[in-house]
Structure 1
Amino acid sequence: MNRRNRYRLAACAWAAVLAGCASVAPTAPADRSQVAATLPTGWSRAAPAADAAAAPDWWAGFDDPLLAPLVDDALAANLDLASARASVERARALRDLADAGRQPQLGSSASGGRVRSGENYSRQLSVGLDASWEADFFGASAATSAAAGADLAAAGATLQATRLSVASETAIAYLQWQGTREQLAIARDSTASQEQTLQLVQWRVQAGLASSVDAEQARANLEQTRAQLPALQTTLQQTENSLALLLGQAPATLGPRLAAAPAALPRVPAMPAGVPADLLRRRPDLLAAEWNVGSALATLDARRADRLPSFALSGSLALRAATWSGLGGAGAVAASVLAGVNWPVFDGGATRAQIAAQQATLAATQASYRAAVLNALADVEDNLVALDRGSERVAALERAADAAANAAELARARYRSGLIDFGTLLDAERSLLSARSTLAGARTDFALAGVRLYKGLGGGWSAEATRP
């Protein structure tokens, strides 16, 4: 083996020795046992049991031919999701940067120049390798790396929380659009019916069977109903624009696509609620808050380790000579190994202040985590009761709407026969419009509660996607 190969082998061996001293500490989320111990054992409202998290494509359970494609498109093109994905990539790069700081550092150098000593000049050439490594005896670097890993996990969970939010908001916007469209259809039907009533009253006035007061009341009732149309059309277009933005599209571009929407609102599937403790592993926003606690705790460990001594090891292997050919000589080899220790003695209280600040940060993240858990429980409870009572409300309003339709039809026939006055017919028509509008709103609210319950339960994401 020639000298040059021996030098290369020595450099590689030196780097391998330093690399063997490094280790990587695993990251872990915060301990959730204290929070889980305070959760209720069940929900206040009965709900179907769930052995696992809600299905990742829960929106397909609503059995609407347009809802699922809209949600899928939103998940592919939504700009908030694109931003959240970029945040994950940034967190991954910062995690890699923190891990790289714990590894041995190896560099190469080359230099050449002339040195003057009195009247004499000499040339000096040098090529070599420099290596360094800081021993992490007290875990400062490991804690920093663990904090970066927790930040990456939190970013991944936030991405999934954003995904769940986008899917839910898309479904909500679509259902609100459908509900507004139904209200608009009801208002148009009522307008057409009241136009016929006005014509009937005018005929009776001309025949001397009714007064002009009845005609003016019929006209006022018609115009009041007709005035609802522009407001509903505005709301319908605004809801369509909101839906387009969720899909990453320009406003007023979904009209042709929404024209194929079914006339009726989709059915609400059974909700797999499970037990409250399931939320700690099923809701990505809770996992993100949990990982934030883990990051703050690891950072606190790093700040505490900053008070302790740090140890560094460095070395170099170089060839120095006056000529290029001389670099291959035995006397050209220069090697050094240095060890150092750094122990802060007095820093004016800076380290103590950093520890106190990080302790406050940890307390804040812990409080945020507990608040997020309580808000998650409230989300589920609110929508469980909305579904439970909403179904009863829809059923009662359906009966009321049927009765109002029968009453309006009978009143119109009896008024045509002269058996009742116009005031009775007017009240019947107003009651019918109110009953149908209220029923449409109740059906929309019931469907929205189903979507919000799925969101509250944390459905529509994969736990694997939150891991660093």
Structure 2
Amino acid sequence: MSRGARAAALGALLAALLCACSVTRHEDLSVPMAPGSFRHAAQASGTQALDSGWPAMFGDPELARLVAKALEQNLDIKQANARIDLARAAVTASRADLMPSVDAGGGYSRSRVSGTVDNALPKRMMRTWAVAADVTYTVDWTGALRGEAAAAESNAVAAEADADAAKLRVATEVAADYLTVHYVDEDIAALERNVTLRETALKLVEARAQVGRSSDLDVLRARTEWQTTRAELTESRRLRENLVDAMAALLGQSAASFALTRASSGVPAPAMPAVPVGLPADVLARRPDLYAAERRLDAAAWTVGVARTAWLPQLTLTADGGFASRSLADFLERNSSLWGLAASVALPLFDGGRRDAALASAQARYALAEASYRSVAYDALREVQDALNDIAAERERIAAYDDAVATSDQVARLSRRRYALGYVDYFEVVDSDRDALSIERDAIHARQALAVATVGLVRALGGGWIVPARAGTAEADTVSARRTME
């Protein structure tokens, strides 16, 4: 074979090796979506773009204050921030591997040899002064070290997005609990009114029974309704206390020391804003959890490429130099200098399948990361659609219940008058009062469900989250480094 042919063959082999170690970017990750907008989107869309100041959309300063306090004190968020620091430290460590390592040291030794052994030195007492520096550099000709650094950077960006997702989760949970407490307070107020009403009715029936105008059965029915309503009131109060305790945990406080003042009667409910939705494709760009999943997919792709480099030789350059002398007087003279240069190549030949297993493991982690990304994407779209479905349904329920509340109140008042005149027995009064209370509470629960669904839509849309500038730069650097390897 001629010299030119050998050079060409060597070049082809080198190119094949480099291709083997390059990182293959994941294929098109677009999630199939039906054309057009979400169902019921027109009923929820507002005119103002959703941003991180969304708590103000509800028009309740206390809600906005509690959300801000939770973002500052919540312990889950603090843990997420600590994980960011860990990921950034890993990035610094991986980038350090791309640089040469330099060690310096000095020493002094004094020793004596025996004068009675064979080949004894003329001078048995020896001193040595030494100062030396060592430099070691691993040549990243395979791109493995750059791949590890890129994977660490992708994981760091994912950790930052995870922290943003934690903030969004905490903020929306605080908002949902706060709004739920407001409507539980309304429910408690309705039950308290009915407890008073039914206690008054019980006294009236007992008075009528004493004069023979009502039966003992009517008294028992009236007492049963009064006690049942009191039991429902106790349950609603328990629910409120548990909600307040949950808010305390979200705010990073002890449940024993946190309290939420009950809203005064007649205080208007927080506004239910119309949340701008946009197209399904827009949702995938607004979700921090989806962005984190994609960055982890990047990291997994880099890990596959790094695993492929295990079959390639590793080139290491070392250099050392310094001064050594028996006396400080001539320590820095030229004859006291010492140095050395070396280059070593290590080529793995047999490891019992360890490298194959490492590559298979990296490919499996990539498959997991890709499936996780798609799962998060589909869940995001489902959460938006479910919230829109709930909002549309609850608005219809509220409209129907409002009409039913007015009608049931009229029926209850009419039944009480008819009973007072002796036209009907107490069965009719019990049924009409029970229906009126049940419909009133259903209307309150429908408004509560609308509030929770509205907050859920804010969360499903990402809460106005946008890709941070630093994350965008890191992503561009990752793509640039990948192209360099490929």
Is this contact kept in 2: 1:408–1:425, CA < 8 A?
A: yes
From 30, 34, 48, the equivalent of 1:35 is 30
TM-score by length of 1: 0.89
What corresponds to 2:252 in structure 1? 248
- Is it true that 1:410 corresponds to 2:423 in the alignment? no
State the distance in 1 between where 2:48 and 2:225 align. 54
Offset at residue 43 of structure 1 (A) = 1.1
Residue correspondence of structure 1 range 136-285 to structure 2 within 5 A: 136-255=140-259, 257=261, 263-285=267-289
Between the two proteins, the alignment pairs up a number of residues equal to: 441
What corresponds to 1:66 in structure 2? 62
From 362, 373, 392, the equivalent of 1:358 is 362
Residue type at the aligned position of 2:73: A
State the distance in 2 between where 1:67 and 1:76 align. 14
State the distance in 2 between where 1:52 and 1:351 align. 55
Offset at residue 264 of structure 1 (A) = 4.0
Offset at residue 39 of structure 1 (A) = 6.2
From 285, 301, 304, the equivalent of 1:300 is 304
What corresponds to 2:104 in structure 1? 108
Is this contact kept in 1: 2:24–2:301, CA < 8 A?
A: no
Offset at residue 331 of structure 1 (A) = 0.8
Q: Give unpaired runs (5+ residues) of structure 2.
A: 1-22, 114-119, 475-486
Residue type at the aligned position of 1:202: E
State the distance in 2 between where 1:454 and 1:94 align. 33
Residue type at the aligned position of 2:257: T
State the distance in 2 between where 1:32 and 1:195 align. 70
From 412, 420, 440, the equivalent of 1:436 is 440
State the distance in 2 between where 1:419 and 1:407 align. 15
From 74, 78, 82, the equivalent of 2:74 is 78
State the distance in 1 between where 2:265 and 2:337 align. 80
State the distance in 1 between where 2:45 and 2:410 align. 42
SS at match of 1:162: helix
Deviates more, 1:331-340 or 1:281-290: 331-340
What corresponds to 2:331 in structure 1? 327
SS at match of 1:255: coil
From 97, 101, 105, the equivalent of 2:93 is 97
Change (3 A) 1:36 1:410: same
What corresponds to 1:24 in structure 2? none
What corresponds to 1:385 in structure 2? 389
Residue type at the aligned position of 2:38: W
Offset at residue 399 of structure 1 (A) = 0.9
Offset at residue 41 of structure 1 (A) = 4.1
Deviates more, 1:411-420 or 1:279-288: 411-420
SS at match of 1:192: helix
Change (3 A) 1:51 1:233: closer
SS at match of 2:84: helix
State the distance in 1 between where 2:384 and 2:266 align. 29
Q: Give unpaired runs (5+ residues) of structure 1.
A: 1-27
What corresponds to 2:133 in structure 1? 129
Is this contact kept in 2: 1:66–1:261, CA < 8 A?
A: no
Residue type at the aligned position of 2:29: Q
Change (3 A) 1:132 1:169: same
Offset at residue 33 of structure 1 (A) = 4.2
Residue type at the aligned position of 2:297: V
What corresponds to 1:56 in structure 2? 52
Is this contact kept in 2: 1:188–1:229, CA < 8 A?
A: yes
Is this contact kept in 2: 1:53–1:459, CA < 8 A?
A: no
Identity %: 32
Offset at residue 296 of structure 1 (A) = 0.7
Is this contact kept in 2: 1:140–1:302, CA < 8 A?
A: yes
Change (3 A) 1:29 1:210: farther
Deviations 1:346-370 (A, max 9, x none): 1111111100011011101111111
State the distance in 2 between where 1:146 and 1:38 align. 31
Offset at residue 128 of structure 1 (A) = 2.1
State the distance in 1 between where 2:48 and 2:102 align. 49
SS at match of 1:55: coil
Offset at residue 64 of structure 1 (A) = 1.3
State the distance in 2 between where 1:111 and 1:40 align. 75
Is this contact kept in 1: 2:24–2:305, CA < 8 A?
A: no
Offset at residue 401 of structure 1 (A) = 0.8
Residue type at the aligned position of 1:88: I
State the distance in 2 between where 1:245 and 1:112 align. 61
CA RMSD of aligned residues (A): 2.3
State the distance in 2 between where 1:358 and 1:41 align. 38
Is this contact kept in 2: 1:151–1:291, CA < 8 A?
A: yes
Residue type at the aligned position of 1:90: L
State the distance in 2 between where 1:92 and 1:52 align. 36
